[in-house]
Structure 1
Amino acid sequence: MNAIELLLEKVSTPMLDEPAPSDQQLDVMFRAALRAPDHGRIRPWRFLKVSGEAREALGELMAQAALEDQPDLSEDALARFRGMPLRAPMLVLAICPVKKHPKVPEVEQKMSLAAAVQSLLLAAHAQGVGAIWRTGDLCYKPSLAKGLGLADNEQLMGFIYLGKPVGVKKKVPVLDVGQFVSVWTGGLQVS
């Protein structure tokens, strides 16, 4: 697969099974992530690997965080939260350690982390590893960040689920580039 094919064919893989990526595959994924655009070279990325029994501990943290907003959650709902990290043999948590910087605002640091995650996902796909980046309200719960040991300046920006793809690769529609690209000629933009 050449680079253009990789970019045009990458899809999220929601159904994942054993095995987790190997250490060698993970090394390639993290090396790709660390090549993300990085204004000011402040390296606004950090990743936590979660596998094995640690996934159950993460699920418990997720259930407890969900209870903060909905203290009357049913046991079935709590079980769903506890089971979220068990959807894949490994998760990588994407964390943005936001730094005070005179030229690099917080939003640029988060965009850099997003670019790092995309590179990680592409490197996973190139190696045949299934991956999906998930977020949701739980990502932004201070109690979850605290339970994960994040510093005050660190923000959890998503859960990357990794494993062997299961099922048929989904077909994604080919989008019309013209619907998303226009030309600005220096004057007023007209619709």
Structure 2
Amino acid sequence: MNALETLKNRVSTPRLSAPAPSGEILTNIKQAAMRAADHRMLRPWRFLVIEGGSRNKLGRLFAEAKAADSGPISAEEATNWANKTHRAPMIIVAIASCKEDEKVPEIEQIISAGCCVQNMLNAAFVQGVGAVWRTGDFAYHATVRKGLGIDDHEKIVGYLYLGTPQGRQKPVPEIDTEQFFSNW
């Protein structure tokens, strides 16, 4: 698949199983992140790769965060929240790690980190790796941020779930681009 076909046909793949990407395929995904738009080449990002038993630790953080918001939760609820981290064999936490710079405002740096995630989604798709970008309340929750070692100046821009696609892929919807673009 050429680059333009990838960009026009990429879809998220929420049903994922083992194996996770590895070797050259994973390296390609990581390298694609480094080519994101990046004003003044600040590299305002970092990533945590979570797989194996580390998914259990992240799941426990999710359960702790839920309990912090709603009070004590049952063992069953804790298990349900913890199992959300087992939707894929690998999760990459994308973090905007903004730098002080007089010419590059924070919003540009956060967008740049988001561009890293989009590049990783495209690199995964073109290599046959399933991927879905998730956020939700746990991307912003103090308990999760602290547990992951996210500094005060950093923001989680997403959790990139990666694995082997399961089931049929969603059809690529036709979108009338004219609804979104106009001449000024």
Short-chain TM bin? over 0.9
Identity %: 47
RMSD (Å), alpha carbons: 1.1
Residue in 2 aligned with 1:187?
A: none
Residue in 2 aligned with 1:144?
A: 144
State the number of aligned residues.
Answer: 184
Tell me which amino acid in the other structure corresponds to 1:9: N
Distance 2:91 2:8 in 1: 24
Q: Secondary structure at the match of 1:115?
A: helix
Residue in 1 aligned with 2:133?
A: 133
Q: Secondary structure at the match of 1:35?
A: coil
Q: Runs (4+) of structure 1 moved beyond 4 Å?
A: none
Tell me which amino acid in the other structure corresponds to 1:140: Y
Larger Rg over CA atoms = 1
Q: Which stretch of structure 1 is more off in the superposition, 70-79 or 121-130?
A: 70-79
1:71-109 deviation line (CA, Å, top 9, x unaligned): 143433322210111111111000011222111111101
Residue in 1 aligned with 2:170?
A: 170
TM-score (norm 1): 0.93
Residue in 2 aligned with 1:111?
A: 111
Residue in 2 aligned with 1:23?
A: 23
Distance 2:75 2:34 in 1: 40
Distance 2:35 2:14 in 1: 25
TM-score (norm 2): 0.96
Once the two structures are superposed, the pairs formed by residues 33-182 of structure 1 within 5 Å of their partners are 33-182=33-182
Q: Which structure 1 residue ranges, 5 or more long, are not aligned?
A: 185-191
1:4-43 deviation line (CA, Å, top 9, x unaligned): 1101110000000010101221110111110001012110
Distance 2:23 2:123 in 1: 13
Q: Secondary structure at the match of 1:133?
A: strand
Deviation at residue 142 of structure 1 after TM alignment:
1.7
Tell me which amino acid in the other structure corresponds to 1:50: I
Deviation at residue 172 of structure 1 after TM alignment:
2.9
Distance 2:88 2:107 in 1: 30
